[in-house]
Chain A
């Protein structure tokens, strides 16, 4: 029987919510999603390995789950944005999947954000470029001492003001958006495979 967690996920990936899937699919899909976030940097490795083990073995001890959640939160508080994004993945995965509605959908969304971050980074986008783009966009949006522009005018003004940065900004945004929307499609393909 399809669980509430799977039903919520099916709707999110635009699949028929009445699709019938075995309950065992939930843990298998969760482990597959978690595994798909590799490679893990050293600071995140232990917490994510422990979570994967917990789901693979069907860990039942509530105190052990609380310890996993504390470790996940510590990752989420990390100053490194990549570790922080993995921390949000860990936070989403730090609950037993049974009797939960949010388990799968929350994890999928956290991984979408992680993938988007990685895709942006892969275009060569850096924290410095991000800070510069944000400052430029804010300055344009505030009118720079003249007329406050309409929202739709801002991208063109950014291109005029800082063409090279604007081009890189758009490229990283496109890559990020594409990666964000790609993961749900991969999840849907996994589910489709599990149905057969």
Chain B
């Protein structure tokens, strides 16, 4: 499924999380355009990460026009992990250029949506 970004009409955005498989965030930056970015750091052996996966899929779909979601396996992207100082999984980082917010540990879809709403509202307030 694809959507057009409401903020940048010429950007086509995917409703599925972007999977980062190396140490480069360029695919995310390119796909995100002006949207907020949510980086989801996880690991294949992490139970809470697996439990949260459907929540991340739903959130990526619901917020496709406003948020670009990237899934980052900590074992495949050690340099990104270091750059973001990730010490536990799952870790969720919200950024628009600079980091806006982060959460360590699993979250319900409701709490994740509240976190995104707050970040989006603060973004529009400062725009």
Majority secondary structure of chain A interface residues (helix, strand, loop or mixed) = helix
Q: Which of the residues B108, B113, B114 comes within 8 Å of A88, measured between beta carbons?
A: B108
Select one of A8, A91, A99, A101 contacting B108, CB under 8 A. A91
Contact of B58 among A73, A76, A94, A102 (CB under 8 A): A102
- With a cutoff of 8 Å between Cβ atoms, the chain A residues found around residue B111 in the complex are 73, 76, 91
**Which residue of A has the minimal Cβ distance to B55?**
A102
Q: Which residues of A contact B58 (CB under 8 A)?
A: 95, 100-103
Check A102 against B57 for contact (C-beta < 8 Å).
Answer: yes
Task: Name the interface residues of B80-120: CB closer than 8 Å to any CB of A.
Answer: 108-111, 113-114
Q: Give the A interface residue count (CB, 8 A).
A: 19
Distance in angstroms from B111 CB to nearest chain A CB is 7
- Give the residue of A76, A91, A99 whose beta carbon is less than 8 angstroms from that of B109: A91
Is B51 an interface residue when CB atoms closer than 8 A count as contact? yes
Whether the pair B54, A101 counts as a contact (CB closer than 8 A) is yes
| Interfacial chain A residues near B114, Cβ < 8 Å | 69, 73
Instruction: Determine the chain A residues whose CB is within 8 A of the CB of B108 once the complex forms.
Output: 76, 88, 91-92, 106, 110
For chain B, give the interface size range: 10 to 19
Interface bits A59-98 vs B (CB < 8 Å: 1, else 0): 0000000000100110010000000000010011011000
A109 CB contacts on chain B under 8 angstroms = 51
Docked-complex contact A102 and B109, CB < 8 angstroms:
yes
CB distance from A33 to the nearest CB of B (A): 15
| Bound complex: CA A103 to CA B57 (Å) | 11
Q: Is A105 an interface residue (CB 8 A)?
A: yes
Chain A residues numbered 39-75 whose CB sits less than 8 Å from any CB in chain B: 69, 72-73
Select which of B54, B61, B113 is within 8 A of A105 by beta carbon. Answer: B54
Interface centre among B51, B55, B58, B110 (most CB of A within 10 A): B110
B3 to chain A, nearest CB (A): 14
B118, chain A: closest CB distance, angstroms = 12
Some 14 contacts from A to B, beta carbons below 8 A apart, are: A8-B54, A69-B113, A72-B110, A91-B108, A91-B109, A91-B111, A92-B109, A95-B58, A99-B61, A101-B54, A102-B57, A102-B109, A106-B109, A110-B108
Q: What are the 6 closest A-B residue pairs judged by CB atoms, nearest first?
A: A102-B54, A91-B110, A91-B108, A101-B54, A102-B55, A102-B58
